Amino acid sequence: MSSSDSTPGTLPRHVAIIMDGNGRWAKNRKLPRPFGHREGVKALRRVVQHGIDRGLDAMTLFAFSSENWRRPALEVKLLMELFSVVLRSEMKRLMDNNARLRFVGDRTPFSPRLREAMIQAEETTGRNTGMTVVIAANYGGRWDIANAARELAVEVAAGRLQPEDIDAGLIQRHISLADLPEPDLFIRTGGEERISNFLLWQMAYTEFYFTDCLWPDFDEAALDAAFDSFGRRQRRFGRTGDQVEQRGA
């Protein structure tokens, strides 16, 4: 699916977020890093609820990258525990809000219990028709593209597909989240201005918004500020500004 054009004041349909700055938030308060992650869960709850209230179609949140395994073992353990706890504690809220929960990423390294909880959550919320909340867990954009390439290679090897038939549209159909609108807006908190192997394919035309705000401090007003910035941008998708204005007129 393609992204929507944005005219002034329009909201994004799909927002992708890198929730960065939990560790620094804790350090600023002389607290251990886990406190930052716990506070980060509160921000996650606020932001998802606000996305639901503002009528977004989807939100994709980067909870754990394929590179995050390099962190100290204790921090990785704590993050895994936090995922399990949050999964259980948020189900009612998601159901009450008619929201769907999905996961994207390679689940194989997660514990069988966590994997089971992920499947359960997806099944329980699967028939809801409101906002889709996607948690990117052990996700990497390059992993995603490599997966799509492998699936197509299998088709070619089986003689069901000719190499010359492979184009961007076909890759798109094999990439994660192909059934959702492409992210219109990407937000990264915590001051770094990079996409860190997030949705590399999906964000070809996404508007980027970076803020110094540390993730645990991110709230409804901060999300609205990002929406306002998005609403003021002219998205051209390769066309000229004049062409876009004529189409919008």
- Which residues here bind ligand FPP, judged by CB under 6 A? 19-24, 37, 40-41, 44, 63, 68, 82-83, 86, 135, 190, 215
CB of 163 to ligand FPP, least distance (A): 39
Return d(Cα 133, Cα 136) in angstroms, integer: 10
Exposure string of 101-137, with b = 16+ CB inside 10 Å and e = fewer, is bbbbbeeeebeeebeebbeebeeebeeeeebbbbbbb
Q: Smaller CB distance to ligand FPP: residue 218 or 230?
A: 218
Q: Smaller CB distance to ligand FPP: residue 3 or 189?
A: 189
The residues assigned a catalytic role are 20, 68
CB of 182 to ligand FPP, least distance (A): 22
Q: Closest residue (Cβ) to ligand FPP? A: 23
100-104 and 132-139 beta bridge pairing: parallel
Residue with tokens 């867990």: 137
Q: Smaller CB distance to ligand FPP: residue 3 or 65?
A: 65
Q: Smaller CB distance to ligand FPP: residue 40 or 51?
A: 40
CB atoms within 10 A of CB 39: 19
Return d(Cα 167, Cα 156) in angstroms, integer: 13
Nearest to 46 by CA among 19, 24, 83, 76: 19
CB of 155 to ligand FPP, least distance (A): 33
Cα distance from N-terminal residue to C-terminal residue, the chain: 24
Asked if 206 and 6 touch (Cβ cutoff 8 Å), the reply is: no
Q: Smaller CB distance to ligand FPP: residue 59 or 148?
A: 59
CB of 248 to ligand FPP, least distance (A): 37
The distance from CA 91 to its chain's CA centroid, rounded to whole angstroms, is 19
CB of 238 to ligand FPP, least distance (A): 34
